[in-house]
Amino acid sequence: MEKKSSRDRDGEMGGGAAHARPPPPPSRAHPPPPPPRPRIEPIDREKIGSHHKPEDFAVRGKEPKDEVQIYTWKDATLRELTDLVKEVAPEARRRNAKLSFAFVYPDKHGRFVLRVVGMTHSSGRRPDDLKALAELNFQIGDYLDVAIM
């Protein structure tokens, strides 16, 4: 009987008796850790959905710490202000977010009062969207308190 040679995968002549070992299994090392989660600013859940108290504005320079200063015209509408708030407050960008607007100002006795003047929705159009600050009797120096719900 004659022994025939065979060619291995590389075309080399082999004797047929030698077998190549299979490659070792992949390493069982631990998978890499997941990427770090983006840092999310904590939300004061007691403040969301409610306006500040009028006395929070009583001392000039000690306004609420989450204050954002907006310089605008009296003909600005609540929709324009909603869009500005959405630029700086991520929670206002939620599809179901509602923004309640209130003016805070001192009464004739010097006590601060809060008067709710309208509500807008983050993603839909509402009748209050077209109300301008002037037609709501906003006065220069009044505070505008926006509650995001």
Single-letter residue type at 84: L
Q: Which of 1-10, 14-23, 32-41, 124-133 has the lowest mean pLDDT?
A: 1-10
Virtual torsion, Cα 121, 123, 124, 128, nearest 10 deg? 30
The full set of domain ranges for the chain reads: 54-148
The two three-digit tokens of residue 70, written as one number: 């907006």
At 128 the pLDDT is 95
Q: What is the pTM assigned to this prediction?
A: 0.61
- Quick one: average pLDDT of 48-71? 68
Given a cut of 70, is residue 126 above it in pLDDT? yes
The two three-digit tokens of residue 115, written as one number: 């008067």
Residues 147, 110 contacting (CB under 8 angstroms) = no
Fold for domain 54-148? Ubiquitin-like (UB roll) (3.10.20)
How far apart are the C-alpha atoms of 93 and 81, rounded to whole Å? 13
